[in-house]
């Protein structure tokens, strides 16, 4: 989990500025599962904004298939950014035993 500074063009950004997009896609192709994206395939969510106001989803949580089965939910907590505690929204992932 963390600030990957990567995503998929046209999906995880409001513009077309990601470089090395194939590195992130390569992780998904190796079997890692985007915890938030797999649960919200038709929803756009942005976790960071540039000084120019462009929005991006660059904070990701990737899981192996075995761990992904134990994840009950994944969501972005925007109040962290809105309160000025971070310049990113927090990704909250709940794992059940």
Q: pTM of the prediction?
A: 0.85
- Distance (Å, whole) CA 3 – CA 26: 17
pLDDT at residue 14, as a whole number = 80
Q: 8-17, 71-80, 83-92 — which is least confidently predicted?
A: 8-17
Structure tokens at 50: 């540039």
Task: Report residue 76's pLDDT band, with 50, 70 and 90 as the boundaries.
Answer: very high
Q: What is the pLDDT of residues 4-61, one digit of tens each?
A: 888 888 889 887 788 888 999 999 999 999 999 898 888 889 999 988 888 999 999 9
> Please, what are the domains in the chain?
2-95 (3.60.10.10)
């Amino acid at each position: 989990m963390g600030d990957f500074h990567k995503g998929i063009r046209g999906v995880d950004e409001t513009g077309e500025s990601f470089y090395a997009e194939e590195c992130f896609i390569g992780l998904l192709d190796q079997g890692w599962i985007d915890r938030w994206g797999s649960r919200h395939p038709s929803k756009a969510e942005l976790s960071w904004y540039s000084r120019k106001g462009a929005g991006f989803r660059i904070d990701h949580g990737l899981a192996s298939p075995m761990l992904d089965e134990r994840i009950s939910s994944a969501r972005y907590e925007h109040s962290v950014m809105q309160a000025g505690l971070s310049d990113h929204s927090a990704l909250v992932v709940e794992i059940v035993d």
